[in-house]
Structure 1
Amino acid sequence: MEKARDIVDWLAGLAATSLWFYITLQIIEVDRQLVKREELEADEIAIRLAGCKGVFIFARMLKQFEREGYTISHESILGFPALTIDERIRFIYEKCQPG
């Protein structure tokens, strides 16, 4: 009977750990998406204020960072990558396409 109780306890621990892990991953993803959305909104405001010509200069600067080996533009509050330099460059060029 004690062996069955040990198995039940082990399964309960596994379930609790799995739930904790799942919740943690969800928090990380929400944090990452929030930072990404806020940064891209800031880039969109910059496009409206400075115009595409001005923002293309910034995009060239970002490309230089990429050439030097930097890939992450922003990290989430918890320290995980939230936005890559490539994502920012693509966002800028998508927003500044004519038409």
Structure 2
Amino acid sequence: MKKKSDYDRTQELRKEIEKLFKNTVLRNSLRIELKDGILWGKEVELGENVQVEKGAAILGKTKILKGKIEKSAIVIDCIIQEIEAKSKSMLFLVEQLDEEKVKAEKEQF
């Protein structure tokens, strides 16, 4: 049996998260809300200066003070002062420890 790469596992996770946009039962079981086309976890805190585009997913214990999260970007369990998450990027368990903006380019994990 071939072992899956980290990239393959990340792609599978992205597909599972995309199912949450259509599956109300699954969303409710995970306590995730779909509001204005955005997936929101119950423990997400965003500052007033955070822009989030439709199609983004912000999940887990995430706190972001300012920045932009583009469509299809996924942010999970992150503490970030300033973010720039491009479309189809994924941030997981990121904690910003300095003043430098956290950037995730398209399809970067």
TM-score (norm 1): 0.29
Return the structure number with greater strand share.
2
Return the structure number with greater helix share.
1
Higher Cα radius of gyration: 1
TM-score (norm 2): 0.27
Q: Which has the higher contact order (CA 8 A, sep 6+)?
A: 1
